[in-house]
Structure 1
Amino acid sequence: MTATILLTPAVEERAPCTLPPRLVLAPGETTPVLIDGAWWPRSRDLTAELPALIEILDPLWGRITRVTVNPTFWPVIPRKVPVRGHVVHVGWFEAEQDPHKLLLLSYTVGRWDLLVIPPETEPAIAARLMATATDPSRSLTATGLIHEAERFRITAEEAVGSDSLREAVWDSEGGNDARRPASHASAGAVIDHVPSPAEGR
């Protein structure tokens, strides 16, 4: 896969996102781990999204001078992004960098890795990812965290579906409305027994 690298000055003239970044950082006193926090951008436009993020991180981590991404989820990768007071260089690695991770480098301090939560993620799942990414006991990679959240979402949807199915069976057997005509009770024959979660294991 190739990345689109924009070299035209028009990239630097684009207006950055004016909303505050959705960001959570791991506590500073925790043991170094694979992820230093989580960032939930509002779009896949690095030119619009990065300035606000870096303006918050500069005073916390030292001036960020370089950012790298995996081009898998970024349709356009600018070579430079203007941030208040300086310019940040943007690079990309395809095989070497986790596609769900943003790597930030500070010339004077070091490097940090942020989980990038896809912009289209549902708020509840994004909140779960942010909490998991900053949990001191965490040990998953950025992609591992995304896959875990997806499994959680699927399990939650299946549980809701299972509850709806139980409710339908209960209704069909007269549990909801005992005055229902007898012709409606025949649906109970279609679903004989709905196993509980414990039985389904």
Structure 2
Amino acid sequence: MRAPRRTASPVRLTLSTPLGGDIDGAWWPRTGSLAGELPELIDVLHTPLGEIVDITINWSATSGAPLMVTQSSAALLKMRWNDSRQRIMVVVGKLASARLLVIPHMTTPQLGMMVLRRAADMSVSVADQDSAEYQAADRLVKAAAAQSAADTARTS
């Protein structure tokens, strides 16, 4: 086993405890090059999941990244935003697996942080629950969880 890499920028990842939900957390890459950031993600996930043996994703290289914005539901419908196709990565280790919502790297910091928290079912202050970021993050995570549940039912 090699020593974990030390990166200048920590991996932006949250995981819920226990694992095993429709969404277990989120990963927010810093760039559009997921392949370049994947080794650091695998290093971080080694401890909770064990040796990583498989990774599956639900999108192709040619599919566009989903839109993660804080606009109201009515505005999103006008822009033809589709909550049903969020990017989900399933990482399988020898000890456990995790379903991660992959946040597009260009997401605003406020929304990205809120999605990280909501995806891992972390607490959010009452004051923040009234924010547009919380409302958008909640909507995005619920859409991803419904999508993940449907995908699991279809493959079972």
Q: Identify the TM-score tier after normalising by the shorter chain.
A: 0.5 to 0.7
Count of residue correspondences: 104
Structure 1 counterpart of 2:14, one-letter code: V
- Decide whether aligned partners of structure 1 residues 45 and 143 sit closer, same or farther in structure 2, where only a CA change above 3 A counts: farther
Report the residue type matching 1:140 in the other structure: K
TM-score (norm 1): 0.44
For residues 24-74 of structure 1, give each alpha carbon's deviation from its aligned partner in whole angstroms, at most 9, with x where no partner exists: 11123x7x42111111001232321110011011122101121111234x4
CA contact (8 A) 1:69 1:99 kept: no
Aligned pairs (5 A) from 1:48-67:
48-67=36-55
From the CA coordinates, give the structure whose radius of gyration is larger: 1
Q: Select which of 102, 110, 117 maps to 1:116.
A: 102
Which structure has the highest strand share of the two?
1
The alignment-based identity, stated in percent, is 33
Unaligned runs of 5+ in 1: 1-16, 76-97, 146-201
Distance 1:144 1:43, change over 3 A: farther
Give the SS at the match of 1:71: coil
Listed as ranges, the matches of 1:95-110 within 5 Å are 99-106=86-93, 108-110=94-96
The alpha-carbon deviation at position 109 of structure 1 amounts to 2.2
Inter-CA distance 67–143: structure 2 relative to 1 (3 Å threshold): same
- In the TM superposition, what whole-angstrom CA distance separates every residue of 1:108-165 from its partner, at most 9, and x where no partner exists? 22421001111000000011111211227988242769xxxxxxxxxxxxxxxxxxxx
The 3-state SS of whatever aligns with 1:53 is helix
Is 1:129 aligned to residue 131 of structure 2? no
Match among 18, 24, 31 for residue 43 of structure 1: 31
Instruction: Say what the alpha-carbon RMSD is for the aligned residues.
Output: 3.1
Indicate the structure whose relative CO is greater, using CA pairs within 8 Å and at least 6 residues apart: 2
For the 8 Å contact 2:25–2:116, the answer to whether it is kept is: yes
Relative distance call for 1:18 and 1:48 in structure 2 (3 A) is farther
Partner of 1:7: none
> Which sections of structure 2, spanning at least 5 residues, go unmatched?
1-6, 63-84, 124-137, 148-156
Please name the residue that 2:82 is paired with. Answer: none
TM-score, normalised with respect to structure 2: 0.56
> What amino acid is aligned across from residue 142 of structure 2 in structure 1?
L
Verify the 8 A CA contact 2:25 2:120 in the aligned structure 1.
yes
Partner of 1:142: 144
